[in-house]
Amino acid sequence: MSMLTIQASIREAKGKGAVQRLRQQGLVPGVVYGGAEGLNLPIQLSQRELSAALTKDADSAFFTLQLDDGSTHLVLPREIQYSKIKRDLLHIDFQVVARDEEVRTTVPVRFVGENQAPLQYGLLEIELKAKPAHVPAGFDVDISGLEVGQTITVADLEIPAGVELISSPEEMVVSVVASTQEPVDEEGDEEAEAAGETAEEPQA
């Protein structure tokens, strides 16, 4: 799988005031940790570049993090903080992982297509374990062809080779439920309306 590259700089600014000034400059503070070297580095990234990378329809949940000291790390986003109202990126943690070691993580379910029937959603993230090269960025679920009474479970997802599911295969992802809206009796409404008009007519 191809992985996106994110540029980052080692962060010197620390403390609430310094971090706030970074955000005003369009930068996101973060930390990269783990790996064989036991890294625990404060970093800063472009908010625009990071937002684009996190929302891009990539084929991997992992990123190549390139630091300004020349080092490159295979990383997995572990904790992302957003502002409550504007949903601006506030902070991000990256975990360094080894390419030949299995990691346990969650990936999102991405619903595609349209369906006018009422839908009931279940799991929005799937937990799995695999080596980084096998972890997908997410699972696409097409809801356009679903009919009332149909349910998609975790077992119905297309699981790539080399991926071990942690989530239960029986867990529901999405289901089409019958509408609870009562049908409108147009003929009855017309009769009631006609009766009302007759009652309002003045007597001769």
CATH of the domain at 75: 2.40.240.10
- Domain hosting 58: range is 4-97
Contacts of 5 (CB under 8 A, 6+ apart): 63, 64, 65, 66
Q: State which of 53, 70, 97 marks the end of a domain.
A: 97
Q: Is the pLDDT of residue 4 over 80?
A: yes
In the block, tokens 């962060």 appear at 11
Q: Are residues 62 and 40 in the same domain?
A: yes
pLDDT of residue 137: 85
pLDDT tens track for 130-165: 999 899 889 999 999 899 999 999 999 999 999 999
pLDDT tens track for 33-88: 998 788 899 999 999 999 988 887 666 778 999 999 999 999 999 899 999 888 88
| 111 compared with 184, residue with greater pLDDT | 111
Asked whether residue 28 is assigned to any structural domain, the reply reads yes
pLDDT of residue 184: 53
Average pLDDT over residues 20-34: 93
Percent of the chain with pLDDT over 90: 60
Q: Are residues 18 and 69 in the same domain?
A: yes
pLDDT of residue 144: 93
Average pLDDT over residues 19-28: 92
pLDDT of residue 204: 42
Q: State which of 46, 68, 97 marks the end of a domain.
A: 97
3-state SS string for the chain:
CCCEEEEEEECCCCCHHHHHHHHHCCEEEEEEEECCCCEEEEEEEEHHHHHHHHHCCCCCCCEEEEECCCCEEEEEEEEEEECCCCCCEEEEEEEECCCCCCEEEEEEEEEECCCCCCEEECCCEEEEEECHHHCCCCEEEECCCCCCCCEEEHHHCCCCCCCEECCCCCCEEEEECCCCCCCCCHHHHHHHHHHHHHHHCCCC
Q: What angle do CA 193, 194, 200 make, to 5 degrees?
A: 90
Q: Report the CATH number that the domain containing residue 108 is assigned in CATH.
A: 2.170.120.20
Q: Are residues 111 and 158 in the same domain?
A: yes
Q: Is the pLDDT of residue 30 over 90?
A: yes
pLDDT of residue 7: 95
pTM of the model: 0.71
Q: Are residues 93 and 135 in the same domain?
A: no
Percent of the chain with pLDDT over 70: 85
